[in-house]
Amino acid sequence: MRGPGRWRWLLLASGAALLGWLILRNDPIAVLSEVAGLSWRLLIVLVFPFSVVVVLDTLGWRYAFSDSRVPFRALLWTRIVGEAVNVTTPTASVGGEAVKAWLLRPTSR
């Protein structure tokens, strides 16, 4: 396995190992009982509002730059990737903006 695939598996395994270590360190029975007590409705409360905000923000991008012919799907993907960079790096809200600009740059053909 070469390229990014190896890194993805390594990062996935590292995250799973860290989660397992944290659960074992903090009373696994209590953690599992709390997770089991969560209702499926919690997923709706967490995911639905965020999804609506992302779609509306992307639509705002689309209408702010109406002369651009970038497809909605590409704008949505760019927004999600940029926000992921903002959240996961110490650059706060600055690093993801550069990533968004780079992803939306015109490509020469």
For 47-95, the pLDDT digits (tens) are 888 899 999 999 998 888 778 788 899 999 999 999 889 888 888 788 8
- Does one domain contain both 19 and 46? no
What's the CA gap between 55 and 30, in Å, rounded? 37
- Does one domain contain both 65 and 100? yes
- Does one domain contain both 43 and 66? yes
Asked whether the whole model's pTM tops 0.75, one would answer no
Count of C-beta atoms within a 10 Å radius of residue 58: 18
Question: Whole domain around residue 90: which residue ranges?
Answer: 39-109
- Does one domain contain both 108 and 62? yes
Judge residue 96's burial from the number of C-beta atoms within 10 Å of its C-beta, 0-12 exposed, 13-18 middle, 19 or more buried.
buried
Res. 4 pLDDT band, cuts 50 70 90: low
Inter-CA distances, 106 with 39, 68, 77, 83, 92, Å? 45, 10, 16, 21, 26
Q: What is the predicted pLDDT for the residue at 11? A: 87
- Does one domain contain both 23 and 54? no
**Overall domain count for the chain:** 2
Select the highest-mean-pLDDT range: 7-21, 40-54, 82-96: 7-21
What's the CA gap between 62 and 7, in Å, rounded? 33
- Does one domain contain both 19 and 31? yes
Query: 2 or 42: which carries more pLDDT confidence?
Result: 42
Task: Enter the DSSP assignment of 107.
Answer: P
- Does one domain contain both 44 and 85? yes
- Does one domain contain both 33 and 44? no
